[in-house]
Structure 1
Amino acid sequence: MKWEGNRESDNVEDRRGEDGGGGGGGGFGFGGRSIGLGTVAVALVASYFLGINPLTVLQMLSGGGGQPVQVQQQAPAHKPAADDQMARFVSTVLADTEDTWEQLFRASGKQYVQPKLVLFSGSTPTACGTGQTATGPFYCPGDQKVYIDLSFYELMKQRFKVSGNFAQAYVIAHEVGHHVQHLLGISDKVDAARRRSTEKQANALSVRLELQADCFAGVWAYHADQARHILEDGDIDAALNAASAIGDDALQRQARGEVVPDSFTHGTSAQRVSWFKRGITQGKVSACNTFEAKQL
């Protein structure tokens, strides 16, 4: 992926090395429940590979019931150092999503509100609860910020053999896709519908939400490449191969040896590949309407 020399975003907060105020314990609290590190590891995989907010994953795995503990947001932090290569990379990717979505929103008569990208280490307060390194990257609609500990990329490279700049950029683009859903009011509608639904129906709605974010990430990649020629040989194939390896069916089969379709919340490997491919080949937001698709 070609990115050096492109514009960097000013919407990056660097909280690394600061006291996150979230504590350094081995668990993650939800409604009085404590989540152990084994469960957190599952959420970490889901957050990277499946795109869902890990705070939501942890809540579901803890048995639901209760909302994430609300914490007071700290003041905006400083910008990353100019010689921090990885921080420059994510800043450039964020800027690229800004340019793409501002153009697309403007074309449809809407105004794009840029999200913030927060770099942290250890733990940090968010409007969705305390974010921790173990939960991986996530988007919080409460403060419209994407959170990421950059050491996560090295962990994914070592543990899951996932690497490459475009795969890393895709993680951010997917979370920004959730921000787009928030701005368009899609997330709120889905959340309201989920509250009125059975567990099976709620899971099916989550699948459509996540697949749409996959498609939105593809839409970003299409326009970014058209405007700035960021893609190199192998980038798309690598992303598609990664998506194929980490669908709900693949992860369930690996974790428990069987697949339970009614419990899917993110989509199968084939579905994730299909919707990302649809976004990156068509480049249209209208192509990403998973909620009206008869077949995913």
Structure 2
Amino acid sequence: MRWTGRRQSDNIEDRRGGGGGFGGGGMRTPIRAGRGGGLGLVGLIIVGAVLWFGFGVNPMFLFGMDGGSQTQQSQTASGPGVQGTSDKTDDFVATVLADTEDVWTKRFADAGEQYPAPTLVLFNNSIASACGNASSASGPFYCPSDQKLYIDLSFFRQLKDQLNAGGDFAQAYVVAHEVGHHIQNITGILPAFDQARRGVGEAEANALSVRIELQADCYAGIWAHDTQAAGYVEAGDIDEALNAAEQIGDDTLQKASQGYVVPDSFNHGTSAQRQTWFRRGFEEGSVAACDTSQGDI
């Protein structure tokens, strides 16, 4: 991916070594949807997605987290990008976040809407978010309550070394996927999801969660579509994203960890599904193409 020397987002909080963490490890928290900004862009295009939430589901199944809510303090980096560091990964993530801002700001503006960009929080080991406490073991996540993405950059080493999904565009796909959850939040999908979460069993909740996650993959594909149009995608980049989607599919992860799969427990989608929906967003470049609420997925 062509990223060096380009604009970096200033919507970054660096809490590594700051006061934003909590003692201990392994705690995991629910994602509680906060108030959205109305249906906006997606409400004009995929109303069916909101109707589908009438089935209800606990949003903790979106991210595989559970626990309690906590307040937090942060050490906020000032100026563009992440200050006081020469780490190229920091600069890369800040550039990718800037790309997502450019893509979604234009798309919202084209629909007569304003895009409220999320903040990306960098942390080490553990963090206290508006959605509660989380550890690095939770992986990257999005908190609707404060509209922030949370990433421990050690996840990218795990992605490469343990999950065989190396490459800068694989990392970019992870960021763009979490931004996809932000799009769902500010367009009213996650708040509707939270409001209608009660009254279903775990298997049905997981099935609905898969549709949410695949839509976020599709939104990541839209980002890749527009980034390619801007001339920043290099040969092999899309293959890196598709490989990452394959390696973090529920079936692939379950086979690797326990030797067999339990489809009713899937909450992100199979490898094939994740690749299909990322590719759909990338090839069609249309929010309408990302409606996972209807039919087979």
TM-score by structure 1 length? 0.83
The answer to which of 199-208 and 97-106 deviates more is 199-208
Deviations along 1:4-50, one digit per CA (max 9) or x if unpaired, are 12211110111112243410x2431669xxxxxxxxxxxxxxxxxxx
* d(CA) in 2 for partners of 1:76, 1:82: 14
CA offsets, 1:200-256, max 9 Å, x none? 2211110100000000000011011112x1111111112212222332222222223
Q: Which amino acid aligns with 1:9?
A: S
Q: 1:57 aligns with which of 64, 70, 75?
A: 64
2:179 to 176, 195, 202: 176
- Seen in structure 2, the aligned counterparts of structure 1 residues 190 and 140 have a Cα distance that, compared at 3 Å, is same
Q: Cα RMSD (Å) of the superposition?
A: 2.1
Give the secondary structure class of the aligned counterpart of 1:13: strand
- Tell me the amino acid that sits aligned with residue 58 of structure 1: M
* C-alpha distance in structure 2 between counterparts of 1:54 and 1:83, whole Å: 37
Residue 48 of structure 1 corresponds to none
C-alpha offsets along residues 150-204 of structure 1, whole Å, 9 cap, x if unaligned? 1221233222222111001111000000000001111122233332322222111
1:81-104 per-residue CA deviation (whole Å, 9 max, x = no partner) reads 263321111110000000000111
Task: Specify which of 256, 273, 276 is matched with residue 274 of structure 1.
Answer: 276
Structure with the bigger RCO (C-alpha within 8 Å, sep 6+) is: 2
Please tell me the residue identity of whatever aligns with 1:139: Y
Indicate how the Cα distance of structure 1 residues 221 and 30 shifts in structure 2: closer, same or farther if over 3 A, else same: closer
CA-CA distance at 1:284 after TM superposition:
0.7
Q: 1:195 to 1:107 in 2, by over 3 A?
A: same
Q: Deviations over 1:33-82 (max 9, x none)?
A: xxxxxxxxxxxxxxxxxxx98994132xxxxxxxx322122145224226
Q: Does 1:264 align with 2:266?
A: yes
1:94 maps to 2:58? no
Name the structure 1 match of 2:150: 147
Q: 2:249 aligns with which of 244, 247, 250?
A: 247
- Greater CA drift, 231-240 or 94-103: 231-240
Structure 2 residue matching 1:28: 3-state secondary structure = coil
* CA separation of 1:15 and 1:195: change in aligned 2, threshold 3 A: same
Q: Which structure 2 segments of 5+ residues have no match?
A: 31-58
Greater displacement, 160-169 / 251-260: 251-260
1:284–1:29 distance in 2 versus 1, CA, 3 Å: closer
Q: Distance in 2 between matches of 1:29 and 1:101?
A: 30
1:13, 1:76 within 8 Å by CA — same for their partners in 2? yes
Alignment partner, residue 20 of structure 2: 20
- Residues 1:18 and 1:82: Cα distance change in structure 2 (over 3 Å): closer
1:289 is aligned to 291
Q: Percent identity?
A: 54
Matched letter for residue 237 of structure 1? D
Q: 1:92 to 1:105 in 2, by over 3 A?
A: same
Matching residue's letter, 1:110: E
Q: Which runs of 5+ in 1 are unaligned?
A: 32-51, 60-67
